[in-house]
Structure 1
Amino acid sequence: MAALCANGFVRLKGFDGRSRMRVYATLVVRDLLSERVVKLLALDAAAGWRSFEAFFAGDIRRIIHRNLPGQDHQQNREDAYQSVCEALLKNDLQKLRAYSGRGSPSGFILQVIENMVVDYVRTIVPRRRLPASIQRLSMLDQSVFRLLYWERLAPDHRILLPHIPRSEPPSTAEEVAQAIVRVRAALPPSYSVDGHRPDKLVDISAADETLLAGSPVDWAEPTPEDRLIEGQQANLLDQALAVLHQALPKLSAIERLYLQYALHGYPAREIARQAGLPVETVHKLAQKVKKTLREEIGGTDAIKKWRLSV
């Protein structure tokens, strides 16, 4: 309350009436509490971690559940939670201590958690087995299946093409579009055409489905308040993406390619490998793209509101 009242309620003066006050206040308070957690981590790692887990455990579970939905992934979700906690504690909380004080602390922490969950999901990809009907298709079709149903990329040949493994001769956009049609036609009943039905993993660990002792069990759906906040953020994100889409034609082809990889969460080294560029060039591209987008869209109302929400 003292922080909210400080300097004439300066933290609340950004409210412009275009969103619900409840949502705006919730996000402000969340950032205040996140700042306290980060400061406590720096002063007392043990007490700070207890506070961190109490405050962010629900977010960790929610992010894991979004990346590993369905009953088939129950054990994987438990393992993912343990893996994320271990990674956060590694090297004296190095990743959490990296917060510089600039921007939203909760946004920074949630992005760190998201990256760790994605990294964990990628480690269990080798356990996946292609359905028999897909195994009978070509290598291109199998690659398209993996991108659509394992990596969850959009069924757009323009998005999939840069991710297709290199071959001789290289696959064309038209061939990828035809492969999407063949893959959908060959899908087994356990998969939906829109890709929303979770795929199945072959768990190579022991068949015991008992929950790990002492690990979190509550994988419940978000609370009504969570849904309210996420709905508001989703609407702001849609507006921000529309502005971004308008700015894309002003980027060069190589800059648009970099941005596509970056928005899918690829690190600089992976982008360099995929695009066949030196890592130094990728870092320069990142700086140039960010500078261009800041100049082009940074001052628009939609972007300002979205940045405030995160």
Structure 2
Amino acid sequence: MTARTDPEREMLEAALRGDAGAAESLTRAIADLVWTACLRATRGGAETEATFCDVMTALRANDFVRLKGFDGRARLHVYVALVARDLLSERVVKNLALDGDNGWRCFEAFFADDIRRMILRNLPGTDHAQDREDAYQAVCEALLKNDMQRLRAYSGRGSPSGFILQVIENLVIDFVRTIVPRRRLPAPVQRLSALDQSIFRLLYWERLAPDHRVLLPHLPRAEPPTTAADVGEAIIRVRAALPPGYSADAYGIEKMVDISAADENLLAGGSEAVPTPEDRLLEGQEATLVEQAVTVLREAMPRLSATERLYLQYALHGHPAREIARITGLPVETVHKLAQRVKNTLRGEIGETDAVKKWRLSV
């Protein structure tokens, strides 16, 4: 049985050996991709055509030697896009030195998506919509400052696009620090994995929903890629590590109560606005019972399978079976069976413990 061949890699290897036919085939295969990239870095027309010719010439030089590092782990088009990006980034930096206004227009057109992507990763959520717009303006102003000194600092060594993206990332972080005070992770979370810590920040600092479709786009890239199941299990670990009832304001600032509004409620006959000592005692007793029941549940969680824990996570947040099926991609029938299995398991594990009995009686 022969090993599976990779036509793209075979074509590149033939071109690297100097095969003229393979070189022409490779040129045709990547031309559209390079043209699209050139359109982003130019104003169109003759400028785009000249840039395209220069980039293709650079790629074809010495039998495509710039593509020699391709190892087959990604698609060839992805690797070519990265090499072309570096060539265009270097050209953009040179244009900044030659023609500041035109060079900046090309730079912004080429890197705008990257700037916004980095800002979104650092300031996710609807609460930060205006902050993201402010961040974009602040980053652009910082890049333009002192005749674009930060961008002109590229020495010619290493990846030009890597250099530029690092400069942008640093500026985004600088802006975020001006609007979000530094916060320390709770001690139990500091002992968890990097993924768990990222999930904590998104859930408790950024107030994102505990849904993998919401959280995954905001997580750092990882190898292998983070899956929906990974996110679900991380949510469980984070919540198990935190004390019962833990909550954190997005900025670590306690909510303020408007005294005049409180007075209006009281004058309107809202006697429940001011709890009596008896109310506080009952609330404290109920909180204690809930805490004891949650502790027992937390101890039982590791004995559930990963799929069962993921189901329980969504179920405890009030998601119905059909919604859980849609989120997890499981058939509804499977979710119903999963629910029954989890209930039976938990009933056998913790149903007769004193803490759970007392809590059930209280409600």
Please, what TM-score do these two structures have when normalized by structure 2?
0.39
Select the structure of larger CA radius of gyration: 2
Please, what TM-score do these two structures have when normalized by structure 1?
0.46
Work out which structure has the larger RCO, using CA pairs closer than 8 Å and 6 or more positions apart in sequence.
1
